[in-house]
Amino acid sequence: MSLYALQKLLYELNRDPRVQQEFTADREGAIGRYRLSDEEADAIRNDDTGMLYILGVNGQILMHFAAWRGLAWDDYIQAMKDALAKHGQVRGGIYAAVDGGEGGAV
């Protein structure tokens, strides 16, 4: 259930400038409104895009969140590769890495 809540927070952030403003003004408050695990809350707290990927956030949600947080495309891909090396395979959702996360366009 908490992957659902985590993705919902990101979905609402992605599409609603008002939620973005709230997040920017009071990130802890925003985090507190969703039923997140400690690991999920930490990933949001620390802008840890790679960990959000490992936790199973759908790429179509994560890609836009990463862009909004100012991560350039190559840095976004690299953050996922680094997290994969550190934490192992994606734990949920349908965006698991293949081929050990090798490849990728540059």
Q: Using CA atoms, how far apart are residues 15 and 84, in angstroms rounded to an integer?
A: 27
Q: How far is the CB of 29 from another protein (least distance, A)?
A: 21
* Nearest CB to another protein, comparing residues 28 and 104: 104
Chain residues that interact with another protein, rule: CB under 8 A? 4, 7-8, 11, 14-15, 53, 58-64, 67-68, 73, 77, 80-81, 84, 94-99, 101-106
Q: Could you give the CA distance from residue 48 to residue 40 in angstroms, rounded to a whole number? A: 10
Q: What is the closest distance, in whole angstroms, from the C-beta atom of residue 91 to another protein in the complex?
A: 14
* Tokens standing for residue 20: 């973005």
